Chain A
């Protein structure tokens, strides 16, 4: 044990640094404390392929929307379509008030939450896109609203928090 624990470096000998192995391992990037939320490049796509396409599913029912998003994601995996991201948009809450039959007071009916899930897909070929759309349509559950559109910078910015101070300062400067 004492023989193995010895760390004397014989710098004059040719066997100096014989036990080193860390230089053979691949370089690990230093851990970043904060991963900055940066927008990934939006590909425009060639003439025969669509670029980044967003498949957005909206509904009042959370479980349905999540399960449908999972189904679409797995379908894309099975059909070897590259999925960039699969994220959730912030939930919107709506208070529904209706006018009572007798009287002018607004009666609270319900509080509805609207959930939205997005599956971002890249490299859809122009021949396969209508087939994929048909498959998704035929499996659409009830009450789930489907929207398929191209990805834009505005879509990404709608996920970020608003910064009123920055906007105020920019307005003042210009």
Chain B
């Protein structure tokens, strides 16, 4: 519908909208300037109750035979662990060497297969595996009904 005097609101509206947009852009620029922060990890912050207490543990005095037994046991354990570690390193070396030999033989056999074997396997990742459990799962176990609520603290910048 035409009017005798046109509305004056239009220009003012446009100006207001422009001013609003500029304000929003300024706010955006300010927020974008601030660098994103990493979420603080609760594992690395010791709770205060462990640093405030003055409790001191008093250990009983060890007899010389006991301390010698412990030292000898420690030495035996060190030797055992060293043998275990060396066996592991040897096994790794043996595996790598046998792999290299197999690749050499394959290379002599056919070029195409060698090339295909050297390429990376796309189906390898993602790889997921649960750790071994202490006991195998019980056959007829009926777990009680319940639910899990996630109560992790959400940090916002």
- Whether chain B is bound by chain A comes out as yes
- A binding-site residues for B, Cβ under 8 Å: 34, 36-38, 45, 47-50, 53, 59, 62, 79, 88-99, 101, 106, 109, 111, 115, 126-131, 133, 135, 137, 140-150, 159-166, 169-170, 172-173
| Cβ-based interface call for B39 (8 A) | yes
**Which of B99, B126, B145, B154 contacts A127 (CB under 8 A)?**
B99
Query: In this complex, which of A90, A101, A129 has the most chain B Cβ atoms within 10 angstroms of its Cβ?
Result: A90
Residues 22-48 of B, flagged 1 when their CB comes within 8 A of A and 0 if not, give 001101100110011111111110000
Shortest CB distance A57–B (Å): 9
Task: Count A/B pairs, Cβ under 8 Å.
Answer: 153
- B binding-site residues for A, Cβ under 8 Å: 24-25, 27-28, 31-32, 35-44, 88, 92, 95-96, 99, 103, 118-121, 124-134, 144-157
Interface majority SS (helix, strand, loop, mixed), chain A: mixed
User: Which A residues lie within 8 Å of B145 (CB)?
Assistant: 98-99
Q: Which chain A residue has the least Cβ–Cβ distance from B118?
A: A48
Q: Which chain A residue has the least Cβ–Cβ distance from B148?
A: A94
**Which of B41, B128, B157 contacts A91 (CB under 8 A)?**
B41
- Complex Cα distance A126/B121, Å? 7
**Which of B28, B95, B150 contacts A92 (CB under 8 A)?**
B150
Shortest CB distance B141–A (Å): 14
Query: Are A147 and B36 neighbours in the complex by a CB distance under 8 Å?
Result: no
Query: Are A162 and B149 neighbours in the complex by a CB distance under 8 Å?
Result: no
Q: Which chain A residue has the least Cβ–Cβ distance from B132?
A: A142
User: Which A residues lie within 8 Å of B39 (CB)?
Assistant: 90, 159-161
Query: Are A160 and B151 neighbours in the complex by a CB distance under 8 Å?
Result: no
Query: Are B131 and A37 neighbours in the complex by a CB distance under 8 Å?
Result: no
User: Which B residues lie within 8 Å of A150 (CB)?
Assistant: 125-126
With contacts A37-B36, A95-B149 taken as known, whether A145 is within 8 angstroms of B156 at the C-beta atoms is no
- Complex Cα distance A90/B39, Å? 7
With contacts A90-B42, A98-B144 taken as known, whether A53 is within 8 angstroms of B125 at the C-beta atoms is yes
Query: Are A99 and B144 neighbours in the complex by a CB distance under 8 Å?
Result: yes
User: Which A residues lie within 8 Å of B129 (CB)?
Assistant: 137, 140, 145-146
- Complex Cα distance A135/B92, Å? 8
12 sampled A-B residue pairs with Cβ under 8 A: A34-B35, A88-B41, A109-B146, A126-B120, A133-B127, A135-B92, A140-B131, A146-B129, A148-B125, A162-B155, A166-B28, A166-B31
Q: Which chain B residue has the least Cβ–Cβ distance from A45?
A: B120
Query: Are B96 and A128 neighbours in the complex by a CB distance under 8 Å?
Result: yes
Query: Are B131 and A141 neighbours in the complex by a CB distance under 8 Å?
Result: yes
**Which of B41, B120, B146 contacts A106 (CB under 8 A)?**
B146
